[in-house]
């Protein structure tokens, strides 16, 4: 729990009736979305469903998409693409951090070797190629 008694976003704390009320959906709709694989609520030891704040946000997103006329398979695809975008952003952040660490290590190695350190965008490993390729259309 956070400092004001609010559970973390992934804590499965809401029973199905509360989740239904908070999302404006019928409990049977929540069960149907689970059967379709659109949502995976947590479970208690006795098998009762427990929804997290993130689950509620996802249910609201599904409801918004379906009310806009998007079918369940379209919703499924949109959610998959959203997940891919999140994963790609995370990977991009990792790669940027790795690039910065590599640049820092290269600067440190150049300094230790007594070399003059070029500006950050002019490091040898990052220099763009100045090759020029031309294409000619063959007559006929």
pLDDT digits (tens, 9 = 90+) for 20-78: 999 999 999 999 999 999 999 999 999 999 999 999 999 999 999 999 999 999 999 99
CA distances (Å), origin 100, targets 66, 95, 107, 108, 135? 43, 9, 10, 12, 37
Q: What is the CA radius of gyration of the chain?
A: 26
Would you give the end-to-end CA distance of the chain in angstroms? 75
pLDDT bin (cut points 50, 70, 90) of residue 134 is: low
What is the average pLDDT score of the chain? 87
pLDDT at 133 over 60: no
Could you tell me if 39 and 29 are in contact, meaning their C-beta atoms sit under 8 angstroms apart? no
Pick the CATH number of 1-69 from 1.10.1660.10, 1.10.10.10, 3.40.50.1220, 3.30.420.40: 1.10.1660.10
Boundaries of every domain in the chain: 1-69, 70-125
């Amino acid at each position: 729990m956070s400092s004001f008694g609010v559970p973390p976003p992934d804590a499965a704390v809401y029973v199905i009736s509360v989740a239904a009320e908070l999302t404006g959906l019928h409990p049977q709709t929540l069960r149907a979305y689970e059967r379709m694989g659109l949502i995976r609520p947590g479970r208690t030891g006795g098998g009762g469903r427990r929804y997290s704040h993130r689950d509620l946000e996802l249910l609201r997103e599904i409801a918004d998409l379906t009310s806009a006329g998007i079918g369940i398979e379209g919703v499924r695809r949109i959610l998959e693409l959203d997940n891919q975008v999140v994963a790609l952003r995370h990977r991009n952040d990792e790669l940027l951090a790795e690039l910065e660490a590599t640049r820092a290590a290269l600067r440190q190695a150049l300094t230790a070797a007594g070399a003059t350190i070029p500006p950050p965008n002019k490091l040898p490993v990052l220099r763009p190629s100045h090759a020029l390729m031309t294409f000619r259309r063959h007559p006929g």
